[in-house]
Structure formats: structure tokens, C-alpha cells
Structure 1
Amino acid sequence: MNYRVRKALEADSRAITDVIMAAFGNDEGELISQLVTDLQADPTAQPSLSLVATADNSVVGHILFTSACIRHLDRKVSSSLLAPLAVHPECQGLGIGGQLINEGLRQLGEGDTQLVFVLGHPDYYPRYGFSPAGTRGLDAPYPILPENADAWMVQELQPGVIGSVSGQLVCAETFADPALWQE
């Protein structure tokens, strides 16, 4: 089966919700689905990048990157937050999540995005160039539990940014719930 990654369309909304529900289950899926809807309507999350993976014209994966920044001294460092990533369970393990991540990073890197952050599985995201952010002085909007510190990760899209800036990520108002930051 051939998989294709493209920008999400308004017409993909229902299919994206279906993928999220299948990937995360009922309760968590409903919360994450609502989060995606809220982020897409949140002006503080813009600009955002929403991509889908398709197989035979059916959506089988989705990724969302939303606008964020690090305020360092007198400047803002243009950043994005990757959240969420979902792949339909029948298609997991086929590299679709990686294709979505890589394409998103490529597109963001062509713009002015300097850093991309994710709160995710510390055994998965390093495969795509992410590494712990907190040890580099790049803090999450809310404290991350010490046992989950490695789940808060960053990737540099413009060389020389990491090590020259520090501070706390400022992201969309939709993410202003401390419960969202408990991995």
C-alpha cells in the first residue's frame, strides 16, 4: 500500500477525528480530538501545520504543529509544538508516524521556525532528531514531573539556536491546562 503525506483539508476533519479515536481509544481520544478542534480555532496557535497520511484516499494518520516561541532576553525564538500525532492502529509500525514527523519538520524548516518541541515518548521521538529540552534550559509551559523529564524534547531546525537561548516555551492558550503537561 502506498502512503502519501499532504496538508490536511477542512474536508478531512471527520477522518482525523476517526483516526484519533482509533489510535487513543474512547476517553483519551475524545479529549485529544477536542484538543485538535480547539487548537485549530485558537488564534494563538496560528500559524499551524496540519498534515495527514493517506492510503487509498483514506486518512490513516494525522499530525499537528502549532505556533509557539521561547522568549529569551529581548528576542523571541520562533518555535512550534508537535501535538498530537495519531496513526490508525491497523497502520502503526509501518513508518507513517515518522513520515508525518519528517514532512512536518521539513516544511517548518523551510519557514522561520527555529525549534520544534514535543512532550512524548522518549524512546520514539529521538529517532527523528528530538532530544531532552529541559537539560538545555528550555522549559515546558508547566513543570514536567522529574520521572518524565526525558519526555520533554526539542529539535533544532536552524543550527546554533540550542545553547544560545534558554527560557520557557510560550504556546497556544488552548494548552494552558497543567493536566495536558503530565506525560
Structure 2
Amino acid sequence: MIRAAFTNTEHGYGQESELVNKIRTSDEYVDGLELVVTQDKAILGYGLLSEVHIKNEDQSFTGLVLAPLAVRVGFQKKGVGRLLIKELEKRATKLNYRFISILGHPSYYPKFNYVPASEYNVRPPFSVPNEAFMIKPLFKGALDGISGTVRYSKAFD
């Protein structure tokens, strides 16, 4: 399902299924932050949050990255992605994480209050369009005084 969901997108399939397997065996995997939406035993959507860090010269702040988020072809634009995002955010908030970062489509994620990470002086570890690298604080003041570069787990290498 993940492979099919990404195959015909603007950027195509980028080894997202393999990424999931690598994250599951990494130290950054968090039990309870992996979701599957089903209907009549068919998988309609999948979402995974794993730990990342915003690092600067003096400090490191732990948060999460949403990768991947996938919805079965034929069920996109029907609320499955919204359901996954909202539930994952709820769970992340209960676990006291500060933020969720996303490298994603700039017209989709702002619907969920994700903004360019540069608005918080947070940078990606590689060159990407500013509008595609987004972040969302999970509570008021969550990103106050935080700046730096997001560092992903080795699973993303």
C-alpha cells in the first residue's frame, strides 16, 4: 500500500516502505506512534512518527518527524490522512513531545497548522524548498527559544 500510494506522486516512490522497516528497528522508534487505518480488513492508510532532534551548538531538543504518511490510492482526499494526522498528533501530545516536523507537500500540511520550519529558525539537514520543510509546535511555547538543524535517525540515511 505504501509503495502504491507514492508511486504516482510528484516525487515518486522513494523507498518509504524500506524506511518504515529501518525506523522500526532504530532507537528512535516510539511504540504507539505507528498507525494503520483499515476498512473491511483492507489497509487504507498508514502513518509513522519517530524521534528527531533539533540541534544547535549548545543544545538538543527532542521532537518527532512524520514519515511516511500514506493513503491507499482511491481513498485519498476522503479524510484518511486527516484521521491519521490528528490521531498521531493526539498521541504525541500525550507523550509530551514538543513538535512534529514534516518534509511534505506545501499545499497539504498547512491545513493542519504546519508552517515552514524557518519561521521558528529551524533548518533542514539538507537542501529542500523552504515551503516543503514544515513544523508544528504541539503546545503553546513549545518552540520558544529553540533553534537549530533537525537531525534524523540513521534510518533516514
> When the two structures are superposed, what TM-score results if normalisation uses the length of structure 1?
0.77
Cα deviation, 1:85-133, whole Å, max 9, x if unaligned, reads 1100111111100100010000000112101000001110011110110
* Bigger radius of gyration among the two: 1
Question: In 2, Cα distance between the equivalents of 1:76 and 1:158?
Answer: 18
- Work out the percentage of aligned pairs sharing the same amino acid: 30
Question: In 1, Cα distance between the equivalents of 2:71 and 2:85?
Answer: 12
Question: In 1, Cα distance between the equivalents of 2:117 and 2:53?
Answer: 14
Q: 2:109 aligns with which of 107, 113, 125?
A: 125
SS of residue paired to 1:94: coil
Q: 1:155 aligns with which of 136, 139, 143?
A: 136
Q: 2:80 aligns with which of 89, 96, 100?
A: 96
* 1:28 Cα deviation from its structure 2 partner: 4.4
Q: Residues 78 and 112 of structure 1 are in contact (CA less than 8 Å); yes or no, is this contact kept in structure 2?
A: no
- Tell me the residue number matched to 2:149: 168
Question: In 1, Cα distance between the equivalents of 2:139 and 2:56?
Answer: 16
* 1:159 Cα deviation from its structure 2 partner: 1.4
What are the ranges of 5 or more consecutive residues in structure 1 without an aligned counterpart?
1-18, 177-183
1:142 is the counterpart of 2:126 = yes
Question: In 2, Cα distance between the equivalents of 1:109 and 1:76?
Answer: 19
> When the two structures are superposed, what TM-score results if normalisation uses the length of structure 2?
0.88
Amino acid at match of 1:94: K
1:63 is the counterpart of 2:47 = yes
SS of residue paired to 2:15: helix
Question: In 2, Cα distance between the equivalents of 1:36 and 1:111?
Answer: 21
Question: In 2, Cα distance between the equivalents of 1:60 and 1:165?
Answer: 36
- Tell me the residue number matched to 1:46: 29
Higher mean C-alpha deviation, range 98-107 or range 159-168: 159-168
More helix by share: 1
Q: Do the aligned partners of residues 78 and 158 (structure 1) sit closer, same or farther apart at CA in structure 2, a change above 3 Å counting?
A: farther
What are the ranges of 5 or more consecutive residues in structure 2 without an aligned counterpart?
none
> Aligned-pair RMSD on alpha carbons?
2.0
Amino acid at match of 1:156: P
Number of residue-to-residue matches in the alignment: 154
* 1:72 Cα deviation from its structure 2 partner: 4.8
